[in-house]
Structures are given as C-alpha cells and as structure tokens.
Homo-oligomer: A and B are copies of this chain.
Amino acid sequence: MSKLFVIKVGGNIIDDETKLAAFLIAFAAIPEKKILVHGGGKLATRLANDLGIEQELIDGRRITNAETLKIVTMVYAGYINKNIVATLQSVNCNALGLCGADGDAITAHKRIKGAIDFGFAGDIDRVNAVSLSKLLDNHDALVFAPITHDGKGQLLNTNADTIAQELATGLSSLFEFHMVFGFEKAGVLLDAEDDNTVIASLSQGYYEELKKENKIFAGMIPKLDNAFAAINKGVRNVLIGRAEEIGLMTGGKAGTTITNGKAQVQ
C-alpha cells in the first residue's frame, strides 16, 4: 500500500507569506503522494469587512449566510487555492486544486442542529475515494479548499480539520495514511509555554496517563481525541507540529507523532 500524507494547515500559515512559502517548498519535497487541506485565514474576514458584510452569530455560533458563502468560495477556492497550486507548480510539484464539488469529491448536507440553522455550513456525508485516488495517480498533490457540495447544486462551507479527518475515513483503506496537523506550536507540549517540551511520541496509553495528571492543555484535548479516533479508523499515524517543519516531521525529527501504541520504526 503506498503512503499518502494528508496535511492540514490553517490561518497561521496561510496569512504569513514567508511561512507559507517555506511550508510549500517543504511540502513539495515530500516524495510521497500528498493532499493539502487549507483553511481560510484573515483574507476572507478582511474582504467581508471591506464589503460591509457583517458576521452573523446565533447563540454565539458563526452562521454561514449566503454572502459569507460567496466570500469564502471566492477567497478559499479561488484566491488561496489557485495561488498555492501555482506556487507548488513553480517548485516542481504537479498539484491540482479542488473543492468538494470537483469530481464529486466530497458531498455534505446543511448543518441544522435543533433550532439552529447554521446556514450554508456543511457536514460531510461521503468522500469519493475512487475519484480522489484516480486524481492522485496522475498528480503529485491535491490541494483542497474547505468547501463541499450537497449534490443538488449547493456549495457548503466545511471545516478544514473535518475535511482532513473525513479524507482519512475515506482513503485509509487504499493508502498507508499519514495525517499532519499544522499547528502554532512545535508539537504537543508538556509545558504549553515551552517549545522545548515537545512530546515526541504519544500513544493512547501515555495520553490517558498525561490527561489524568492534567498535563495536557485543555484546548488540545479535542484535537488529540480526533487524532486517536483517526488512528482507530486505520490511519497509520498523526503528526502535530509546525507546518513549515513538515520535512523534519515526516522524518520523525520534529513534532509529536500520535501512534496506535504498537512499536514503530521512526
């Protein structure tokens, strides 16, 4: 089974030209097939502000109204996605940019929870593994904007972390699947203030121990729970660390590797 790296990067990379350039060079250098899932960053918010479009909140939750969907489609699937693809092409990485509508890659449905209509926010139903594996056959990398579709002509705004996780569910039977979550810190830290306290390798057992001792920063718990859920679905390992250090991370020389607890060669 061939290796596939799925790497999610967020605003801290997208908004920083220098970090983004460094990351894309390191990403291109990964010899295996790879999928980049990018989030948004500040550009969409700035554009909405410039156009006088106000963010809609219901009970403190962000709503994707029609105007917001238009902006994220323009910024994420247009500006950010195509610039990343053009940069990757310039460093000899034959990338293809897409959203969930392209090739029917990811279908979703509108999120409605109880009385709250989240607008055009999508929860994923299905990842089209056949379509994606054919695209991976013919390209070095796929670049995903966090937009899906409902199969009835509607685009939907979808969380980039969730897209990365659902790609794992859809593709880990076809590939030796490695997930990487780009992060502001060097990895999972024993001391949130000290980048020198990176936990190199974290098994489920060790994680439970650390949680009991309150040594895991509360904000990390959902991220790590998701990582272990991915491992239990067949993902080989999950790497957490600075996206621009992806080269070191895939070599086991930086970041935290979340494993299934069995012996692993690093």
Residue positions of A touching B, CB distance < 8 A? 50-51, 70, 73-79, 81-83, 85-87, 89-90, 94-99, 101-104, 131, 134-135, 138-139, 147, 149, 151-155
Contacts and interface: CB of A to CB of B under 8 A. Distances in A.
Given A77-B77, A90-B152, A153-B89, A82 B99 contact: yes
Given A73-B83, A74-B79, A94-B103, 11 more contacts: A70-B79, A73-B79, A74-B74, A77-B82, A78-B79, A83-B155, A85-B101, A86-B101, A89-B151, A89-B153, A96-B102
| Copies held by the complex | 2
A131 B137 CA distance: 11
Contacts of A90: 151-153
A209 B73 CA distance: 49
A89 B76 contact: no
20 contacts: A51-B51, A73-B78, A73-B79, A74-B74, A74-B75, A74-B79, A76-B78, A77-B77, A78-B78, A78-B79, A78-B81, A85-B101, A86-B149, A86-B154, A86-B155, A90-B151, A97-B101, A98-B102, A131-B138, A134-B138
Contacts of A147: 82
A30 to B, nearest CB: 18
Contact of A104 (B77, B81, B83, B94): B94
A51 to B, nearest CB: 6
Contacts of A151: 89-90
Contacts of A102: 82, 85, 95-98
Contacts of A82: 73, 77-78, 99, 101-102, 147, 155
Nearest to A91: B153
Contacts of A139: 103
A129 to B, nearest CB: 13
B153 A86 contact: yes
